[in-house]
Amino acid sequence: MASHRTTRSLGPVDYILGSVLASVLLVTTACGAAPAPTDAPPSSVQGGNVAQAPLDDVSPMDGDVVPDAGGADLASNIQPPFAAKALDILATIPVKGRAPKTGYSRTEFGPAWADVDHNGCDTRNDILDRDLTAKTFKAGTHDCIVLTGKLADPYTGTTIPFERGVDTSSKVQIDHVVALSDAWQKGAQQLSVQQRTALANDPLNLLAADGPANQQKSDSDASSWLPANKSFRCDYVARQISVKATYKLWVTAAERDAMTKVLNGCTGTTVPTTQKPVAQDKVVVPPAAPIAPTPAPAPVKKPAPPVNVVPEAPAAVVYANCAAVRAAGAAPLLTGQPGYSTKLDRDKDGIACE
């Protein structure tokens, strides 16, 4: 038996209801919210802060959604040179008054924990991976989402176990060493959104830390809060100086004085930086010219030994008489002289031809 489908004509009311339903569906599709983090705490996270503690600089808890970096480029911000002294860099930072906090919100620094290095992991998990030991990771995340670990907390000097979870993640928080609100009041208002996003996600400005200590710090600068762990204060202040120099922020007079007081107890402290040592120009020393061997001295010819020339004996002189001796100019003749003879020496006194 054939089936029959009953149809009816659409009236004006039907067209209006259909248009309204279509509009609602379109708006719902376009504005659907991103899925909530699977490990977020029951309290809402507002402006990068845990809502039950309305502080400036408390990090949101773990989430699986990696926000877009918004074009942030860490490489565009020039850090202080390698091994620069913290006191020297502090001397280059401008000293000004604190600007009003008007207009500040966490969203001015981009999405929380953006993946600025494009490695597929959000910044919070990058820092947990960097600062924790004995870590385990969530399966299937390519060792990205940290589940457990241990933190040697720099702020309290204690060891804190970390376990990802609704009730446990907040024990370890990621602190902005230079709080974002503090940065906003000391120059960050003049930065672009991309630069502020870089500042909020720069590993130079981030430390895993004890949650309560981070809550206590809030948006304080060095003049109003320092870590309870005194052995870390020099490094803490040096890191703040490096961040402020990198992002062209300023310090207040009270902040500068507090930093100087800390660093006077450790004047050799250098600022942390990812800059590399400056390569020293190699001095090219031309190869030395080969030294010609010293010629051997010419042999000295010894003079030939003198030949003993035996002079020929003069021919015997014979004078016939003293007149001949006188004619030859040889008179008088003495005994032994050539031509002397006893015949010419009549008186035999040894002188002839006197």
The 10s digit of each residue's pLDDT in 253-303 is: 999 999 999 999 999 999 999 888 866 655 555 666 677 777 777 777 766
Distant-in-sequence, close-in-space partners of 15: CB < 8 Å, separation ≥ 6: none
Distant-in-sequence, close-in-space partners of 296: CB < 8 Å, separation ≥ 6: none
Of 15-19, 219-223, 268-272, 330-334, least confident by mean pLDDT is 15-19
Interval 305-328: pLDDT, tens: 665 655 554 557 787 888 888 888
pLDDT category at 118 given cuts 50, 70, 90 is: very high
Strand 172-176 relative to strand 206-210: parallel, antiparallel, unpaired?
A: antiparallel
pLDDT at 250 over 80: yes
Strand 49-50 relative to strand 132-137: parallel, antiparallel, unpaired?
A: unpaired
pTM summary value? 0.64
Domain ranges for the chain: 44-263, 318-354
Checking phi first, is residue 329 left (phi over 0); if not, alpha (psi -120 to 50) or beta? left
What's the confidence (pLDDT) of residue 115? 92
Interval 40-58: pLDDT, tens: 333 333 333 333 333 445 5
CA gap 109, 174 in Å, rounded: 15
pLDDT category at 32 given cuts 50, 70, 90 is: very low
User: Would you call 71 exposed, middle or buried from its count of C-beta atoms within 10 A (0-12, 13-18, 19+)?
Assistant: middle
CA gap 4, 109 in Å, rounded: 64
